[in-house]
Structure 1
Amino acid sequence: MMDDHYGLRGRPFQLTPDPRFWFDTATHGKAMAYLGYGLSQGEGFVVITGDPGAGKTTLLGHLLAELDGERLNVIKIVSTHLRADDMLRLVAQGLGLPGDDLSKAALLLAIERGLHEVARAGRRTLLVVDEAQALPGESLDELRMLSNFQAGGYPLLQIFLLGQPEFRLVLQQPAFEQLRQRVIAMHHLAPMEVEEVEAYLMHRLMLVGWSGRPRFTADALAAMHRWSGGIPRRLNQLASRVLLYGAVEQIENFGAPDVAAVIEDIEQEDVIEPAPEPVPEPAPVRAGRVAELRAVPEGSAETRALERRVAELEAQVASQSDALRRVLSLLVDWVEKDDGRSGIDLDALRGSAA
Structure 2
Amino acid sequence: MYTEHYGLTDRPFQLTPDARFYFESRTHKKAMAYLGYGLAQGEGFIVITGEVGAGKSTLVAHLMATIDTERLNLVSIVSSQVEGDDMLRLAAQGMGIVTNGLHKAQLLERIEQFLAEEGRRGKRTLLIVDEAQNLSRSALEELRMLSNFQSHGRAYLQIFLLGQPEFRDRIAFEEGLEQLRQRVIATHHLGPIEPGEMESYILHRLTVAGWEGRPEFDEEAFAALFRHTGGLPRRINKLANRVLLYASMEGMEEIGAEAVDIVAADMIADRPGPSEDKVLPLRTSQAAGIDHVAPAPSDAPVHMIQDEALARRVASLEARLEEQDVALRRVLTLLVDWVEGGQAAPSYHTNAA
For residues 207 and 69 of structure 1, what CA distance do their matches in structure 2 show? 25
Report whether the alignment pairs 1:137 with 2:130.
Answer: no
Q: Deviations over 1:281-302 (max 9, x none)?
A: xxxxxxxxxxxxxxxxxxxxxx
Quote the offset at 1:237 in angstroms: 0.6
Per the alignment, residue 225 of structure 1 pairs with 226
After TM superposition, the structure 1 = structure 2 runs for residues 30-41 of structure 1, keeping only pairs within 5 Å, are 30-41=30-41
Structure 2 Cα separation of the partners of residues 41 and 7 of structure 1 = 46
Question: Which residue in 2 is equivalent to 1:59?
Answer: 59
What is the 5 A alignment of 1:172-191? 172=172, 173-191=174-192
SS of corresponding position for 1:15: coil
- 1:242–1:107: structure 2 CA closer, same or farther, 3 Å change rule? same
Task: State the TM-score, normalized to the length of structure 1.
Answer: 0.75
SS in structure 1 of the partner of residue 177 of structure 2: helix
After TM superposition, the structure 1 = structure 2 runs for residues 1-354 of structure 1, keeping only pairs within 5 Å, are 1-172=1-172, 173-270=174-271, 272=273
How far off is 1:94 after superposition? 2.9
Residue identity in the other structure for 2:70: E
Identity of aligned residues (%): 57
Q: Is the 8 A contact 1:71 1:124 kept in 2?
A: yes
What number of residue pairs does the alignment pair up? 275
Q: Could you give the per-residue CA deviations for residues 252-276 of structure 1, whole angstroms, max 9, x where no partner exists?
A: 111111111111111111154559x
- Give CA deviations for 1:102-129 in whole Å, capped at 9, x if unaligned: 2212221221122111101111011110
Contact 2:77 2:94 in 1 (8 A): no
- Structure 2 letter corresponding to 1:37: Y
Shift of 1:37: 0.6
CA positional deviation for 1:158: 0.5
CA distance in 2, matches of 1:77, 1:246: 39
- CA positional deviation for 1:150: 1.2
Equivalent-residue separation in structure 1 for 2:88 and 2:273 (angstroms): 43
In the aligned structure 2, how far is the partner of 1:58 from the partner of 1:88?
25
After superposition, what is the alpha-carbon deviation per residue over 1:16-61, rounded to whole angstroms, capped at 9, x for unaligned?
Answer: 1111111111111111111011000000000111111111111001
CA distance in 2 between partners of 1:262 and 1:93 (Å)? 44
CA contact (8 A) 1:89 1:100 kept: no
Please tell me the residue identity of whatever aligns with 2:92: A
Q: How high is the TM-score relative to the length of structure 2? A: 0.75
User: Helix, strand or coil: the match of 1:75?
Assistant: strand
The residue that corresponds to 2:292 in the other structure is none
Greater Rg, structure 1 or structure 2? 1
Letter in 2 for 1:54: A
Query: Structure 1 pair 251/46, CA: closer, same or farther in 2 (3 Å)?
Result: same
Report the alpha carbon displacement of residue 95 of structure 1 after superposing the two structures with TM: 3.0
What secondary structure is seen at the aligned counterpart in 1 of 2:36?
helix
**Counterpart amino acid of residue 21 in structure 2:** F
Is contact 2:49–2:190 with CA below 8 Å preserved after alignment? yes
Long gaps (5+) in structure 1 = 276-354
Q: Distance in 2 between matches of 1:93 and 1:2?
A: 41
CA distance in 1, matches of 2:237, 2:169: 29
Residues 59-102 of structure 1 deviation map (CA, whole Å, 9 limit, x = unaligned): 00110111111111111111011221121122222333222212
Letter in 2 for 1:265: D
C-alpha distance 258-95 of structure 1, shift in aligned 2 (>3 A)? closer
State the alpha-carbon separation in 2 of the partners of residues 203 and 274 from structure 1. Answer: 37
Aligned partner of 2:331 in structure 1 is none
SS of residue in 2 equivalent to 1:77:
strand
- Moved segments of 4+, more than 6 Å: none
Q: Secondary structure at the match of 1:125?
A: strand
d(CA) in 1 for partners of 2:15, 2:4 = 20
Deviations 1:294-349 (A, max 9, x none): xxxxxxxxxxxxxxxxxxxxxxxxxxxxxxxxxxxxxxxxxxxxxxxxxxxxxxxx
Consecutive unaligned residues in structure 2, runs of 5 or more: 277-353
**Counterpart of 1:185 in structure 2: which amino acid?**
A
